[in-house]
Each structure stands twice: as structure tokens, then as C-alpha cells.
Structure 1
């Protein structure tokens, strides 16, 4: 029995300035939430001082959406977990568009079954 669907996403060589911009990251969250028809219970955000990145978490009725940015490495990471199946979001297209990412890796896992399904997709 499948009990969850999880996307683990890494975006590489992103624009460092964008990775420090909470407003842009909130906008990406809003797009994901709207496109996938998710339901937000609460959100929490933290901007690290100086040249630090941003961490965001949305508690969803379906589970959670999280991001962590590392401007010093030009990397952004995302994690979306849903208890109900959702359509595939265009991670590669959108993260290249909004973060300036050069490469995006998406790991998709169907959780809970004795034989979990695992799929990886990378773009350059």
C-alpha cells in the first residue's frame, strides 16, 4: 500500500542573489501550492544573516513542503511530501526559470509499499 509521494529536488548553479530573496522563494511556494491544489495550514520562514540563505516550511493538510538555499554553493533544495498522489510539477522548468538554475535533479519516491518506487530525473 502506498501511503505517500515524495519529491526530493536539488537545483544547482542558481543565482546567489535570488537564493537570498525570501519573497521569490515564497512566490515559488505559492506557485507549487496553487498548481498542485495543496492546502496550507501554516508557513514559517527564516533568513540567515549576512550572505546566508533562506529556509522555508509549509505545513500542508497533505503533509509538507520545505526549501533550503545555500547561496555560497549556488544550491537550492526542495522537499515535497504528499499523502495523496499529485500530478508531476515542472520542477526543472520552473527552477531554471525562477532561480536561474543550470541543472535540476528530481528524485521521486512512492512511500510505504514493500516495494517502494524510486525514479530520478536530471536535466542540464
Structure 2
């Protein structure tokens, strides 16, 4: 596989629900996380939902950071994608852990890029076999 980017999925659990509700605060924390990771911010767009919850994206020259919050569950999902291995993705995780008051954080880092095999990996949906299949999509 030719690695074109690095994609980290971050699960922040047991967060302070109040910290997940306000667009202004979540935006400020995501911009600071991008700065701490040495990202170059291009644009940021955030939206608050009723009665609560926030979704946002910080576009950086190196790619992007996204967040989706569920205050009622004390949960936030964050993605960090970068075309550069130099972006400090772990800094995003640790800063947001503290900013959101997360009690438990898990993350998964993926290399992204074209594969050399027979095709993309298909993720099973409802009613599909348990193991992902390679090759052509099933209809």
C-alpha cells in the first residue's frame, strides 16, 4: 500500500456533558488541538443541534479534524486525517481528553491510500456474512 495519509479515530467516553453542548467552546478546543498538532488552519465550520450536540470540521492545510458530540451520552467522536506523518495526532487526543474531561479514550490509527490487492475491503452490513469480503460489491 502506498500511504497517502494517516487517519486517527478517537473515541472520548465519560466526558463532562456540559463541555459537549456549547458550539463556542467545542470550536475553541478543536482550533487549539489543531494548533498543538502543528496544523495550519484554513477554515472551521461548526453547528449546534437542538436540544444539544455539536458537529464541526477544522480544515487544515494538512487535511482535517472533525468532531461530533453526544452530551446525553458523555461521548465525542473525533477524526484526525493528515497527509503528513508530521502532524502530531496524539497531541489532539491528549488535549481533547483534558478539555472534554474524558474518563476513557481509545484511538485507532489507520494508514490510508490505494491498495495493491484485488479491490477494496467491503464492510459487512446487516444480513451480511460476519467477515469482510474483498472484491466486487454484492447487490
TM score, norm. by length of structure 2: 0.73
Q: Judging changes above 3 Å, is the alpha-carbon distance between structure 1 residues 95 and 60 closer, same or farther for their aligned structure 2 residues? A: closer
Residue in structure 1 matched with residue 65 of structure 2 by the alignment: 65
After the TM superposition, which parts of structure 1 deviate over 3 Å for at least 4 consecutive aligned residues?
90-93
Deviation at 1:91, TM superposition (A): 4.6
Residue 81 in structure 1 maps to residue 119 in structure 2: no
Please list, as runs of the form range in 1=range in 2, the aligned pairs for 1:109-120 lying within 5 A after superposition.
Answer: 109-112=110-113, 114=115
Question: Which one has a bigger Cα radius of gyration?
Answer: 2
Residue in structure 2 matched with residue 21 of structure 1 by the alignment: 22
Q: Judging changes above 3 Å, is the alpha-carbon distance between structure 1 residues 35 and 96 closer, same or farther for their aligned structure 2 residues? A: closer
Q: Judging changes above 3 Å, is the alpha-carbon distance between structure 1 residues 4 and 92 closer, same or farther for their aligned structure 2 residues? A: closer
Residue in structure 1 matched with residue 105 of structure 2 by the alignment: 104
TM score, norm. by length of structure 1: 0.81
Residue in structure 2 matched with residue 48 of structure 1 by the alignment: 49
Gaps of 5+ in 1: 116-124
Rounded to whole Å, the distance in 2 between the matches of 1:41 and 1:102 is: 31
Deviation at 1:97, TM superposition (A): 1.6
Choose between structure 1 and 2: higher strand proportion: 1
Deviations 1:52-108, CA, capped at 9 Å, x for gaps: 200111122221111000011110010010111123423553233211111001111
SS, match of residue 90 in structure 2: coil
Deviations 1:15-69, CA, capped at 9 Å, x for gaps: 111100222212221222211221222211100122x200111122221111000
Q: Is the 8 A contact 1:91 1:106 kept in 2?
A: no
Rounded to whole Å, the distance in 2 between the matches of 1:96 and 1:39 is: 21
Q: Is the 8 A contact 2:36 2:91 kept in 1?
A: no
Residue in structure 1 matched with residue 36 of structure 2 by the alignment: 35
Gaps of 5+ in 2: 117-139
Number of aligned residue pairs: give it: 114
SS, match of residue 84 in structure 1: coil
